[in-house]
Structure 1
Amino acid sequence: MMWIFYGIPLVHPHSILVVTINGVGLVLETFYLFIFVLYAPSAGRRKVFMILLAEVVFMVAVVIGVLAGEHTHERRSLIVGVMCVIFGTCMYASPLAAMRNVVRTKSVKYMPFWLSLASFLNGICWTLYALIEFDIFITIPNGLGALFGFAQLVLYAWFYRSTPKDEPKSELQLPTATVAPGNDGGISLSVR
């Protein structure tokens, strides 16, 4: 939500791509959360609602504070941009714990390849956009994100072969029943 606020014309003019792309992302995330809440146990629902409530209250406070307290695009862009840098960097740095775990266990079991690749490619795309637009607030977190994503991919390549493969699950054998005519004219049933 912070990137959407950053991209609106009242804060940072000429950032329509930032608003539209992050707006689509927000819609997809909302849909995902709706499905999660639909099937989650009540404790999970409560936790999600509390986090969403805190996020909405925080965003309302930021929007009111920035729009009422600052009256130039430069100041608004600076304040919201710094917050976006902080939150964006935290988002990209969140897999660092998984990377530490990979190095410690010499296994990539808990670091999904596709998530690492998506993080790297997302960081690259947004960094290229930011360099074209000369927007430092988009460049910093996404440049760091591209570096973190690249580091994850290097770790994945390095430790992939040393990751123990899960044993294939043994097939459950059902008993075989054979029905045959018996010697006495009846039916004979044998189970193996």
Structure 2
Amino acid sequence: MIPISELLLEYICPIAGGLTATVMFAAPLPDAYRAVRDQGHLGSLNPLPWAFMLGNCYGWVLYGVIQRNFFVYCANVPGLFFAIWLNLQAVKLQYKSYPCHKYSLVSHAEIEKPSPQIEDGEVVAPVEMKREAPPAPLPTTQDTWILFVVLVWLLLTSVLGFQQGTISSDSQQLLIGSTVNLNLVIFYAAPLSTIYTVLQKQSSASIHVPTMLTNTANGVFWFAYGLAVQDWFIAVPNGLGAALGAIQMVLRVLFPAQKVQANQDVKAVVNANVRHEDDHLEKNST
């Protein structure tokens, strides 16, 4: 008969952790799907965690294979597929919305109206010249983060593959565990990258609530399991993830989310640009 404490910590917790991990990784899917289908832009969605979700799931799948830990392996396989889809949508939306953003925020054209010219004693109507405003620089895009994460794990996998037989199992565990821990901590902390925006706008709209809740629950379950099996590579980062989830909950309470009306903002900017252009033409005509 298995003791209740062992059954709870070594079996129930990892099973519950696997379920909450799947829900956590799937939490952004509905919002991402609506953004692709209806909005055509990311809006308040922060895609940065999705890049690190990709590396996190791949790293834990690799860790589960090396450690022959079926719980860890199965908990991260669904997330790996979800992360691939989410990152594809993020790249697509960024490159779709950037031209619209560029041409709406940057003045369409500054119209120069030269003074009239006299040729053969006749006044020649001036030709209006359009000077295109320089485009705004494209910010760091999702594909840059994806390539960075993939490169790190490709190098690590290559080292393990080509040095097979010369690296002990303990060294493999240390190498993969340390890397995946770093990736997991960044994944847990990535939503806090918007803390400046939250404090500036007094709104936590950029914090995805389903992801925040499932992150916290997932961290608690895997933290308990890591302590039970004395695997600090599992316990430490997930304990930190649970703490970071609690911090996000506090931010959510302190700064309630405010809906961002992206379309109205864009219309306001376009109208401002039109008014600016009209004022410029009126000034030149006078």
Smaller-chain TM-score range? 0.5 to 0.7
TM-score, length basis structure 1:
0.67
SS in 2 for 1:83: helix
Deviation at 1:102, TM superposition (A): 2.6
Name the structure 2 match of 1:66: 160
CA distance in 2, matches of 1:165, 1:48: 23
- 1:150 positional shift: 0.5
Residue 96, structure 1, aligned to residue 192, structure 2: yes
Which residue does the alignment assign to 1:183?
none
Q: Please list the CA deviations of residues 95-132 of structure 1 after superposition, one character each: whole Å capped at 9, or x if unmatched.
A: 22323433343322332322221221221122122222
Partners of 2:240 and 2:251 lie apart in 1 by: 16
Secondary structure in structure 1 of the residue aligned to 2:206: coil
Structure 2 residue corresponding to 1:2, chosen from 59, 65, 71: 59
Structure 1 residues 50 and 122 mapped into 2: Cα distance closer, same or farther (>3 Å)? same
CA distance in 2, matches of 1:20, 1:34: 23
Q: Residue 107 and residue 7 in structure 1: after superposition, are their counterparts in 2 closer, same or farther (change >3 A)?
A: same
Q: Distance in 2 between matches of 1:38 and 1:159?
A: 30
Provide the rounded CA distance (Å) in 2 between the counterparts of 1:115 and 1:121. 10
Given the two structures, how large is their TM-score scaled by the length of structure 2? Answer: 0.47
Distance 2:91 2:199 in 1: 35
The C-alpha deviation readout for 1:46-92, integer Å capped at 9, x for no partner, is x7666555544433321221241643211110111111111111111
Quick one: distance in 2 between partners of 1:72 and 1:17? 23
Higher normalized helix content (fraction of residues): 2
The amino acid of 2:168's aligned partner reads T
Instruction: Check conservation: 2:185, 2:240, Cα contact below 8 A.
Output: yes
Instruction: Give the whole-Å Cα distance in 1 for the aligned partners of 2:60 and 2:209.
Output: 26
Contact map agreement 1:66 1:79 (CA 8 A) in 2: no
Structure 1 partner of 2:70:
16
3-state SS of the aligned residue for 1:109?
coil
Q: 1:76 to 1:38 in 2, by over 3 A?
A: same
SS at match of 1:95: helix
Deviates more, 1:88-97 or 1:99-108: 99-108
SS of match in other structure, 1:101: helix
Deviation at 1:42, TM superposition (A): 7.6
Residue 165 to residue 144, structure 1, CA distance change in 2 (3 Å): same
* Unmatched segments (≥5 aa) in structure 1: 168-192
Once superposed, what is the RMSD of the aligned Cα atoms? 3.3
2:197 counterpart SS class: helix
Aligned residue for 2:249, secondary structure, equals helix
- Higher RCO, 1 vs 2 (CA within 8 Å, ≥6 residues apart): 2
Number of residue equivalences: 161
Q: Secondary structure at the match of 2:205?
A: coil
> Counterparts of 2:190 and 2:88 in 1: how far apart (Å)?
24
Question: Taking every aligned residue pair, what percent have the same amino acid on both sides?
Answer: 24
Q: 1:154 aligns with which of 238, 244, 250?
A: 250
The Cα shift of 1:37 comes to 6.7
Q: Give 1:110's aligned residue.
A: 206
